[in-house]
Amino acid sequence: MLATNTSARELLRPGNVRELLNSPGPCLTILLGPYHPAAQASPPSTVLKAKIQEAARELAERGFPKSANVLRPLEALAADAALESGFHGSRAIFRSPGVFEQFPLAFPVETSLTIGGSFAIRKLAAELARPPYFYILAITKKGVTLLCCSGLHAEGAMLPHGVPATLAEAMEFEPPDHDLVNRSAIGSSRGDMHSVPFGTGSGRERQHAHLADYYKLVDRGIQDLIREPEIPLVLAGVEEDVAFYRGVSTYEHLVNGSLTGSLNTSEPLEAAIERAYAIIHEDTVERQAAALAVVKERMAPARFSTDADVILRAAFDGRAGQLFLNESAQRIEMFERGNYHSWGKEDLLNLAMVQTILHHGKSCELPAAKMPDGAIAAALMRF
């Protein structure tokens, strides 16, 4: 049965890509980079037509007799005027004898064509690690604004009941935790202690005390709001406000980077969301690298490997629970196993990622410097 999603409205996610990965080859993965109509760049239809011609040549060289049938839906897509309008970001197109799917991408990619026994998803590692949604908290000394972002869209989110949107509102309802009148005990024992009031310092210190209490209130409210695990929160604002909020926040998935400046600028909100995704990706890489270091340190040798051949076999057997790949490495070879046919040389590290995802494992790519001893792959085994 031919699966189709030619409208390309849903962003790529591990769940929907898993549905494609069991497809027998040859599997064509076409990535189209961002298109800016005002720039001096070829439109997507022209780029796609060139990749179709390239695919026809490669399929013929690899002895696939039904290349025309596989390429026909791609040719129809290239001729569709809708390809030039609407979404201008990157997109991924997957085509095999049984699959025809395309997805818009949140992260930019370079245009490419890959043909193999499975779809090429390594170049989409950042996309697959993208959270289903995240929040942006725009903060100032006067108040906060919360946005819930899904895909490349955002909408205002209500703070939980009892969490005021402005500092002024907060000061109307309750005093700060730091009582503005402090007291010092006098007397020789607790039983007969009395107290005397004394001052609390400058007006700036009082302002900081109020602001700290307000930010703590907002932080507690956000933690009550975000119930799903591992949902990122990105701060937006001037450096001083961001640093102050970060100093009082206890939210576990507060992202390290931030969006500088106000969101109420001439920059389109979609551009701010794209920047937020890049910040989230940097934070995710750091967390994944830290997880790898813990795995390497604590796991028994039988459950941790940096041998690419061992890892590939384990991935096919469903034993690779967590896969880490060196983003700079490749392992280009022919590969045959059971019913799997590679249709020419392909990246076996991509194949390890495919099999890990098919068996509901986790996978990611890390910079070479964050891999143990320069390994091209590392994996935590389920058993």
The answer on 270 and 145 residing in a single domain is yes
Residue 292 domain flag = no
- Please give the pLDDT value at position 199: 46
Across 112-126, 266-280, 367-381, least confident range: 266-280
- Please give the pLDDT value at position 8: 44
The answer on 306 and 199 residing in a single domain is no
The answer on 140 and 262 residing in a single domain is yes
Residue 201 has pLDDT above 70, yes or no: no
Helix residue spans in 226-304 (DSSP H): 239-248, 269-298
**Segment 304-311 mean pLDDT:** 96
Residue 346 has pLDDT above 90, yes or no: yes
Separation CA 268–CA 151 (nearest Å): 15
The answer on 82 and 139 residing in a single domain is no
Residue 152 domain flag = yes
The answer on 213 and 150 residing in a single domain is yes
For the domain that residue 27 is a member of, what is the CATH number?
3.30.960
Residue 294 domain flag = no
Looking at 81, 98, 128, which one is the last position of a domain?
128
Question: What is the signed CA dihedral for 270, 276, 277, 280, rounded to 10 degrees?
Answer: -170
For the domain that residue 223 is a member of, what is the CATH number?
3.30.420.60
- Please give the pLDDT value at position 382: 94
Separation CA 292–CA 182 (nearest Å): 48
The answer on 47 and 139 residing in a single domain is no
CA-to-CA dists, residue 68 to 30, 35, 63, 114, 119, angstroms: 16, 27, 13, 17, 19
pLDDT band at residue 30 using 50, 70 and 90 as cut-offs: very high
Selected residue with higher pLDDT from 17 and 320: 320
What's the length of the chain? 383
The answer on 280 and 158 residing in a single domain is yes
The answer on 348 and 252 residing in a single domain is no
The answer on 180 and 202 residing in a single domain is yes
- Please give the pLDDT value at position 174: 55
The answer on 158 and 110 residing in a single domain is no
Looking at 101, 128, 155, which one is the last position of a domain?
128
pTM score? 0.82
What Rg value do the Cα atoms of the chain yield, rounded?
27
The answer on 317 and 279 residing in a single domain is no
Residue 293 domain flag = no
Number of domains present in the structure of the chain: 3
Q: Which structural domain, as residue segments, surrounds residue 188?
A: 134-284
Calculate the CA 26 to chain-centre distance. 29
Separation CA 73–CA 51 (nearest Å): 13
Question: What does residue 304 show for φ and ψ, rounded to 5 degrees?
Answer: -140, 135
Mean pLDDT (the chain, rounded): 86
- Please give the pLDDT value at position 189: 44
**Segment 182-205 mean pLDDT:** 48
Q: Which pLDDT tens digit goes with each residue over 48-105?
A: 999 999 999 999 998 888 888 999 999 999 999 888 776 778 999 999 999 999 998 9
The answer on 267 and 235 residing in a single domain is yes
